[in-house]
Chain A
């Protein structure tokens, strides 16, 4: 089945220890997004790639970086995780232009910072 796959599903790291989360998709969508979702809150967009063009949200901390080496893969790097970065990280994809911004989400990577 075409889908969005995130790894790992659960990541535990220590304060300040870098973490990389990965996302792959078989939908051939040209847009990939990274959202941060904290408990009982709405997903918050960190950044997205529209093809190879990187778009950072104004309030995304510098601690968060992203890479998209090819159409299928996208990575979220957290350089020095703090306690406040503990959250679910959701990858999503969409196809533009299609007249609608339908998001297909991955299952998420839950990050715990000790």
Chain B
């Protein structure tokens, strides 16, 4: 059974700092997704990573995928308050569009 683990689960950081969220998964997959969720809202797609070594960047966020290590990272550069949200990674193990999500990382960015 596929397991997806994120760490940390809670992250409080100051504006201007850098940090990384880690997403580990237990079975082979080359399809990994990152989503953002604001309180009471739905999921907003951030990145789609479809191959080993894939790296995507959007603004202050950069995501990467290492399928051999079964690890994805979401790196935040020079954090700003607007990035405060919960971030989820999700893995599609069989290319069947049946996602298994991590527990989420609740990110709080303080001025």
Question: Do the two chains bind?
Answer: no
